[in-house]
Structure 1
């Protein structure tokens, strides 16, 4: 079985440093069921491809007592598709051969390991129980462009139809560690089988590899069940822990609506729905909008105020233009989740030095928050009781005074477009209010005028001609001319 990984990041040969495998050599590794080989079909400044080839020994694979011959076929454990089709065997090879890359570590290129780079992954033969459509549902929410081409049973006889296998190609701009962890978890999920006994420690392996993406995945129920070989007790434990992570994550937000039961529909165990995908897509688009605003501001030192479990922090750290990233939250538990999501204990020292996690209440002045280029309040203000908003305004805009503040909040007018959300209900049980577009604009204008900022309003998500976009966004930029005038007056008064 074969997997290839290609980048066009320049110099592309840095891929060898990230994988800790030299492009000029073929390297081989022993596996319990055979051997793995890493080699580079192409390697130059513009384009580099690493290939992982796994040779399965049917005698080794069939020797375990736990193997069962399918449907009474006595030779089934020796004569099967395992040497040729990607499966959990390829996943195991990834974890052994690219161990440091999976952890996001690189001694020679630590900054590159923490950055998103253009990647193309190809798995020419992947057994996919659920077909090409399932492969798209599994990988697309993670930022991949997915091409899953069904492989015909016999090209000579097209009327026989397609086989259970697909030719899978993924393209996207991601951290290499994220890409490898996606593959490590999802290849056996699509195959829906494992070649080894699934023990309780597999839950920890799943959560470790799924850190930062699985808790919010619209297909997390299906992924969890299949990865854990449909062992109900283990899947239940994993789902409970994922729910805990999700509730402490960047939502509660407008992509985590609680229509009637207080949980998204999929969390009960079914496959994700189109609505789940839409909500996941909104979360991604909101982060992208915030990141775009920060990049446009030219900020390098950024505060994520009310950072929760660290979803935005992960994206900020992956962008090298942000030289200092600070996550602030009142919940120590949320900061612990953020630390695990960022894998602070595994990051190289240079990367770890860019990150701070501070416990602080946003309604109190904190001198540590002064002097930063930008701050983000992403889906935060609606969790405060309205009488506490003036305290937040004073602490953030009056005392900390970052150069740019990016604020996002739900648009309550859009709630009528969410099926199952009862009239008058908010999108999450912890929301204290949700603003109309006019109410948000009035608040932004008042805050900007009071604290010397200019503001630009916008929206995130598909725009409805009647009710607008699901998320509102404002970018407030401090007016340095007003700041200088105010300082001149203070100096004149002092003189």
Structure 2
């Protein structure tokens, strides 16, 4: 079982061997790792000034794999000992990736943090993958991959036997390494459609985490969730409900959903609530702080009286997606003059954002570590000092209405906290008092008599009676 990942030299990746930093595996070493069913070997067959290739080879012991299964039926069936497990990419490879490339899957690289957030020119090759060429293309192409999926003959000496249910797969594209690895982590088991381990409730969390940013809007989402969760209807429904809650789901796609239990996607409720605030106060200059792939920016540009819209994010990849979504390359000079996309962190002062009419933070604060939130608040309310600020965040009391969530669990794997209505109200009023803003708390989404609305909003307006103590 073989996987190769190649990175080309570019303006972003000037030294291709930096791929080793992102994978946390040194190019000058051969490393071995014990994984389920065998041993994974990582080495670099190619390292030069223009290209670097990392390879992972998995040696699978099919006998040990069968003997390690608890509760396996018919343990002496020939098919359990004579099969293609050692050669064909499957859920075994995905599990090995989860162990060997864990930090890379999470996009962590302290020594090359900016590189980890950048799109690289990547080529991924797998000599044998289950599935037919059409299915493979349907799964990988929506994420921006150029896909080459060549059918493999069952026996080259017997052409009359036709093709095996396998393809030789090559993926070429410009993506973050973490995104590329997560695509494989989810889609290889989907193509395999026969996970080698028990699939339980924790698989929903894995799917939501690895699918963040792309799975919610994937045209084959139903097939992917169904197969990844081993055709278990209850788990699939739980995963679908969680995916709909993801903040980076494109609004246009969400609007076309026909989920029986969700009459209106929550992301649309949030965006409409923000747009109502804009219509109410008619700001001319707006910044969407943490804009992600730009789902809200297009709607802001369409509003009458808005002369300038700024979208900021810490991720180059997200800003690139926003530019593609908004067709920046096709905008007229006048249109492009109204939109600015900035690489910027909420934790650091940025004088390009001072004195605007409105700042928007939609589902942003809950992704921050609590100890870092005060610095962000001081930057937004104390340094930037927009005339108004809109903040939305989940209402944790409403989580009991999501059966898929464990008690005390969060709606998204990256959330650091989720507040009750009282906690959010207390925080908002304290911020207002300190920095001189009046606060208006509003529900977002359909209200439940017992637990309130799924999302809560605070609209801050600079007070006319005090300048605040900051």
Normalised-by-shorter TM-score class: 0.5 to 0.7
Seen in structure 2, the aligned counterparts of structure 1 residues 195 and 22 have a Cα distance that, compared at 3 Å, is same
Shift of 1:251: 3.8
Give matches, 1:277-296, under 5 Å. none
* 2:57 matches 1:59: no
* SS state at 1:77 partner: helix
Distance (Å, rounded) in 2 between the aligned partners of 1:356 and 1:89:
47
Distance (Å, rounded) in 1 between the aligned partners of 2:219 and 2:197:
27
Give matches, 1:235-314, under 5 Å. 235-245=236-246, 248-249=247-248, 251-252=250-251, 254-258=252-256, 303-304=310-311, 312=318
8 Å CA contact 1:18, 1:106 repeated in 2: yes
8 Å CA contact 2:204, 2:239 repeated in 1: yes
Residue in 2 that maps onto 1:120? 123
* SS state at 1:76 partner: helix
Match of 1:335 among 334, 356, 364: 364
Shift of 1:27: 0.3
Q: Which runs of 5+ in 2 are unaligned?
A: 266-291, 302-307, 324-340, 347-357, 392-444, 447-470
Residue in 1 that maps onto 2:281? none
Shift of 1:31: 1.3
Match of 1:89 among 92, 95, 99: 92
Distance (Å, rounded) in 2 between the aligned partners of 1:325 and 1:55:
43
Distance (Å, rounded) in 2 between the aligned partners of 1:136 and 1:259:
23
Distance (Å, rounded) in 1 between the aligned partners of 2:151 and 2:376:
44
Shift of 1:366: 2.5
Relative to the length of structure 1, the TM-score reads 0.56
Shift of 1:67: 3.4
Deviations 1:342-384 (A, max 9, x none): xx66xxx9xxx9999979xxxx932899xxxxxxxxxxxxxxx
8 Å CA contact 1:302, 1:325 repeated in 2: no
Distance (Å, rounded) in 2 between the aligned partners of 1:238 and 1:143:
23
Residue in 1 that maps onto 2:180? 179
Relative to the length of structure 2, the TM-score reads 0.59
* SS state at 2:184 partner: helix
* SS state at 2:364 partner: helix
* 2:226 matches 1:228: no
Distance (Å, rounded) in 1 between the aligned partners of 2:195 and 2:229:
9
Match of 1:30 among 19, 30, 34: 34
Seen in structure 2, the aligned counterparts of structure 1 residues 53 and 112 have a Cα distance that, compared at 3 Å, is same
Q: Which runs of 5+ in 1 are unaligned?
A: 268-283, 294-300, 370-428, 431-495
8 Å CA contact 2:244, 2:254 repeated in 1: no
Seen in structure 2, the aligned counterparts of structure 1 residues 261 and 42 have a Cα distance that, compared at 3 Å, is closer
8 Å CA contact 1:304, 1:328 repeated in 2: no
Seen in structure 2, the aligned counterparts of structure 1 residues 355 and 187 have a Cα distance that, compared at 3 Å, is farther
Match of 2:388 among 363, 366, 373: 366
Give matches, 1:81-480, under 5 Å. 81-128=84-131, 131-245=132-246, 248-249=247-248, 251-252=250-251, 254-258=252-256, 303-304=310-311, 312=318, 315=321, 322-324=342-344, 329=360, 334-335=363-364, 339=367, 365-366=387-388
Deviations 1:462-487 (A, max 9, x none): xxxxxxxxxxxxxxxxxxxxxxxxxx
Seen in structure 2, the aligned counterparts of structure 1 residues 91 and 44 have a Cα distance that, compared at 3 Å, is same
Seen in structure 2, the aligned counterparts of structure 1 residues 181 and 41 have a Cα distance that, compared at 3 Å, is same
Distance (Å, rounded) in 1 between the aligned partners of 2:232 and 2:216:
19
Distance (Å, rounded) in 2 between the aligned partners of 1:66 and 1:215:
35
Residue in 2 that maps onto 1:453? none
Residue in 2 that maps onto 1:487? none
8 Å CA contact 1:132, 1:166 repeated in 2: yes
Distance (Å, rounded) in 1 between the aligned partners of 2:122 and 2:376:
25
Residue in 2 that maps onto 1:386? none
Shift of 1:303: 3.4
Shift of 1:329: 4.1
8 Å CA contact 2:294, 2:311 repeated in 1: no
Deviations 1:161-182 (A, max 9, x none): 1100100100000000000011
Deviations 1:113-161 (A, max 9, x none): 1111000000101112xx1101111011111111111101111222211
Distance (Å, rounded) in 1 between the aligned partners of 2:378 and 2:194:
41
Seen in structure 2, the aligned counterparts of structure 1 residues 54 and 198 have a Cα distance that, compared at 3 Å, is same
* SS state at 1:109 partner: helix
Distance (Å, rounded) in 1 between the aligned partners of 2:229 and 2:118:
30
Distance (Å, rounded) in 1 between the aligned partners of 2:42 and 2:34:
12
Distance (Å, rounded) in 1 between the aligned partners of 2:162 and 2:15:
43
How many pairs are equivalent? 314
